[in-house]
């Protein structure tokens, strides 16, 4: 191989390592790899940044606006209410939940769909004494399965369509994937509904830990009259920088002070409310001038001024790899972390010293407007308020439904390309007042858009250096004995493997030139390989890190890493078999 091919291989491997190990945010890792190849002269500027002129990233951005409008107006609330119903758990409840979710996911981005549904499904299970772990992973899997039914079901489908277009082939039609995606979704849903009640254990979710152990998290102390703290300011009294606990409120008779500033002067009989791991921290017990008071129950906590939230740290979050202290969490988010959950268990350590990871679930005490401030940011994959009522559908929900239907009909009938229809839909949502221009901008996950666009540069390098041909030759050599369908299986397996360790959008861009070279080696039509790769890239069921919705339910469901294999392994086998058997029927070699 040439030095350009060796360098490209090294950059791709390092990029995948950075994505897998969370060394950098996905956009930084992929863009950094492209820049290295550009500076080294492996790709030209036009090749490195070809993705930014491709329709795929812009189409995905426009569909993010539509998904946010659906979430804001509560357009799915009638569906959610009818889906959950009042029945008990079991396979009947799973079917009522999963089938409509998969149907909605065929036309809406599945990430906001799961974000809207997961808290309500968890509350529904709690009220019936059921473990949310029996429902949240199936919810994520159903959303993933629905995403393969149409080209707008997931951003990955749009990316492959853009790659085909840039390769001089016809883009994927609105319902072209339906011929294979619908059978795959039906087979997958059948497997989930059949197996989930058997293989998924009843796990303890983070919110249950909060309810049962609130006395550990919310601690009340009283200032001793005439003691060392009587007449002292909070900071001067040493209560501003305690290790692991935070002073969030002071009650003085009928007066309540929150938040508490460093210069606030304490008086005897003031009741101080702290949050944190009081069972591990001795600061409060050793503080002179404070006496223990009866701990507050969660139900008695004043949710007008404060409430509890459950948040899941995202891969692109600035918090990943930092401690709460390094991130200045309390100052940045105006929230106190009362517990950290990881892999289905509460982290037993001083919270300020724990380095956060993607997928960690944080239990927060903050003001009720926290969700409004942080729901559209990429710091958190999921923001869920405890005890909050589900949003009701607004009067503009109907307008959102009309716009969504118009996008599907116009693109499906071929009146306009999907890019044009999606952009017109996004503009219409702003024009009719469903969203402001600022809300539309905030709805777009720029990290995802940059990953998609920058990945095209890596794909160009694989193609131009001949590395894609060599890798394709390896796949053909390994599976040629099974015929063209066997080679199709090889491409499908390669895609599934890569998409479990890096983002699915980056996976398809990296594997697309390999799939095209594989088809060329066989003198076969490249389209069946592109279609199979599209289905496989969205079929991430084996790990929580393989797909964003899997990570969203990881903490709230109390799951452990291996739980995904329990249900994901048989589901993956079913999807592979269905894909390899069905694709050649509709897209012959």
Write out the chain's pLDDT in tens, 589 residues.
Answer: 788 888 888 888 888 788 777 677 778 888 888 899 899 888 889 888 888 888 888 888 888 888 788 777 777 666 666 666 655 667 888 888 889 889 888 888 777 778 778 887 887 787 777 888 888 899 999 999 999 999 888 888 888 988 898 888 899 888 999 999 999 999 999 999 999 998 888 877 666 665 555 545 566 788 888 888 888 888 888 887 666 667 777 888 777 777 788 888 998 888 887 776 544 444 565 567 887 665 444 444 454 566 778 888 877 788 888 888 888 887 788 787 877 888 767 776 667 778 888 888 888 877 777 877 877 677 787 787 765 555 555 677 778 888 888 888 888 888 888 888 889 988 988 888 888 888 888 778 787 788 888 888 888 888 788 877 777 777 878 887 778 888 899 888 888 888 877 777 778 888 888 888 888 888 889 999 999 999 998 888 988 877 888 888 887 888 888 888 999 999 999 999 999 999 999 999 8
446/568 same-domain check: yes
417/535 same-domain check: yes
467/557 same-domain check: yes
Contact residues for 1 (Cβ-Cβ < 8 A; gap 6+): 9, 465, 466, 467, 470
**Is the peptide bond prior to 259 cis by the omega test (within 30 degrees of 0)?**
yes
457/562 same-domain check: yes
- Using alpha carbons only, give the angle 534, 539, 541 rounded to the nearest 5 degrees: 165
How is the chain split among helix, strand and coil, in percent rounded to 5? Answer: 55, 10, 35
Within-domain flag for 286: no
- The whole-chain average pLDDT of the chain stands at 81
**Structure-block tokens of residue 404:** 């969504």
> Each residue of 278-318: pLDDT tens digit?
444 445 655 678 876 654 444 444 545 667 788 888 777 88
| Phi then psi dihedrals of residue 96, to 5 deg | -60, -30
How many domains does the chain divide into? 2
> Sign of dihedral through CA atoms 210, 386, 83, 550?
negative
Contact residues for 496 (Cβ-Cβ < 8 A; gap 6+): 536, 537, 539, 540, 572, 576
Within-domain flag for 252: no
Question: How far apart are the C-alpha atoms of 95 and 81, rounded to whole Å?
Answer: 14
Within-domain flag for 41: yes
Among left, alpha and beta (phi > 0; psi -120 to 50; other), residue 167 is: alpha
> Each residue of 377-434: pLDDT tens digit?
777 877 877 655 555 556 777 788 888 888 888 888 888 888 888 899 889 888 888 8
Within-domain flag for 217: no
> What is the number of alpha carbons within 13 Å of residue 187 lying toward its C-beta?
19
Within-domain flag for 299: no
Write down the pLDDT at residue 297: 41
CB-count exposure of residue 372 (10 Å: 0-12, 13-18, 19+): exposed
81/14 same-domain check: yes
Question: How far apart are the C-alpha atoms of 531 and 22, rounded to whole Å?
Answer: 29
375/504 same-domain check: no
Domain boundary among 351, 385, 419: 385
573/453 same-domain check: yes
Residue among 60, 177, 165, 153 nearest 452 (CA): 60
Within-domain flag for 135: yes
- The string of DSSP codes covering 71-123 is HHHTTTHHHHHHHH-S--SSHHHHHHHHHHHHHHHTTS-HHHHHHHHHHHHHH
199/172 same-domain check: yes
372/513 same-domain check: no
Write down the pLDDT at residue 42: 86
Contact residues for 588 (Cβ-Cβ < 8 A; gap 6+): 525, 528
Angle, helices 133-146/110-127, rounded to nearest 10 degrees: 160
420/497 same-domain check: yes
Within-domain flag for 129: yes
Q: Which residues of 251-274 are buried (b: 16+ CB within 10 A; e: fewer)?
A: beeeeeeebbeeebebeeebbbbb
> Each residue of 235-264: pLDDT tens digit?
888 887 666 667 777 888 777 777 788 888
Q: Give the CATH number, domain containing residue 360.
A: 3.30.70.1450
Domain that holds residue 7: 3-205+403-586
350/490 same-domain check: no
Q: Which residues of 206-229 are buried (b: 16+ CB within 10 A; e: fewer)?
A: bbebbeeebebbbbbbbbbeebeb
Write down the pLDDT at residue 144: 92
End-to-end CA distance of the chain: 30
Cβ-contact 556, 206 below 8 angstroms? yes
Domain boundary among 385, 417, 445: 385
Domain boundary among 385, 412, 443: 385
Within-domain flag for 98: yes
196/52 same-domain check: yes
């Amino acid at each position: 191989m040439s030095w350009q091919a060796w360098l490209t291989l090294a950059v791709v491997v390092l990029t995948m390592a950075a994505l897998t190990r969370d060394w950098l945010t996905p956009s930084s890792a992929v863009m950094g790899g492209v820049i290295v190849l550009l500076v080294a002269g492996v790709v030209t500027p036009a090749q490195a940044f070809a993705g930014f002129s491709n329709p795929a990233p812009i189409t995905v951005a426009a569909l993010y606006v539509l998904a946010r409008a659906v979430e804001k107006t509560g357009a799915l609330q009638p569906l959610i209410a009818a889906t959950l119903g009042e029945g008990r758990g079991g396979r009947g409840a799973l079917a009522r939940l999963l089938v409509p979710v998969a149907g909605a996911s065929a036309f809406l981005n599945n990430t906001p769909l799961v974000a809207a549904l997961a808290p309500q499904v968890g509350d529904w299970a709690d009220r019936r004494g059921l473990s949310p772990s029996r429902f949240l992973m199936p919810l994520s899997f159903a959303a993933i399965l629905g995403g393969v039914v149409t080209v707008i079901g997931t951003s990955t489908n749009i990316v492959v369509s853009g790659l085909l277009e840039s390769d001089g082939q016809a883009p994927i039609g609105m319902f072209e994937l339906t011929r294979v995606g619908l059978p795959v979704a039906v087979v997958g849903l059948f497997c989930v509904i059949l197996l989930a009640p058997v293989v998924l254990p009843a796990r303890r979710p983070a919110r249950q830990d909060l309810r049962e152990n609130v006395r550990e998290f919310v601690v009340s102390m009283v200032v001793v009259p005439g003691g060392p703290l009587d007449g002292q300011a909070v900071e001067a009294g040493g209560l501003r920088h305690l290790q692991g606990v935070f002073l969030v409120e002071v009650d003085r008779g009928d007066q309540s002070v929150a938040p508490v500033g460093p210069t606030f002067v304490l008086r005897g009989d003031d009741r101080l409310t702290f949050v944190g791991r009081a069972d591990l921290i001795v600061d409060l017990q050793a503080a002179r001038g404070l006496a223990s008071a009866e701990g507050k129950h969660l139900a008695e906590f004043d949710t007008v001024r404060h409430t509890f939230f459950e948040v899941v740290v995202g891969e692109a979050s600035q918090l990943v790899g930092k401690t709460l202290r390094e991130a200045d969490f309390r100052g940045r988010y105006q929230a106190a972390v009362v517990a950290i959950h990881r892999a289905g268990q509460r982290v037993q350590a001083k919270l300020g010293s724990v380095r956060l990871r993607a997928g960690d679930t944080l239990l927060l005490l903050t003001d009720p407007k926290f969700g409004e401030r942080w729901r559209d940011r990429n710091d958190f994959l999921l923001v869920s308020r405890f005890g909050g009522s589900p949003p009701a559908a607004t009067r503009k929900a109907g307008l959102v439904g009309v716009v969504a239907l118009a996008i599907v009909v116009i693109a499906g009938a071929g009146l306009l390309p999907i890019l044009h229809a999606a952009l017109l839909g996004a503009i219409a949502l702003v024009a009719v007042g469903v969203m402001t221009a600022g809300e539309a901008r905030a709805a777009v996950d720029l990290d995802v858009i940059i990953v998609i666009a920058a990945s095209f540069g890596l794909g160009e390098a694989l193609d131009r250096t001949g590395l894609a041909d060599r890798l394709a030759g390896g796949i053909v050599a390994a599976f040629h004995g099974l015929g063209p369908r066997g080679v199709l299986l090889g491409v499908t397996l390669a895609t599934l493997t890569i998409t479990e360790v890096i983002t699915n959008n980056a996976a398809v861009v990296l594997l697309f030139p390999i799939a095209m070279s594989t088809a060329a080696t066989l003198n076969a039509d490249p389209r069946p390989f592109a279609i199979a790769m599209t289905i496989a890239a969205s079929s991430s069921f084996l790990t929580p890190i393989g797909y964003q919705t899997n990570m969203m339910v990881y903490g709230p469901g109390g799951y452990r890493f291996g739980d995904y294999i329990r249900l994901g392994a048989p589901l993956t086998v079913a999807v592979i078999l269905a894909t390899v058997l069905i694709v050649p029927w509709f897209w012959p070699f």
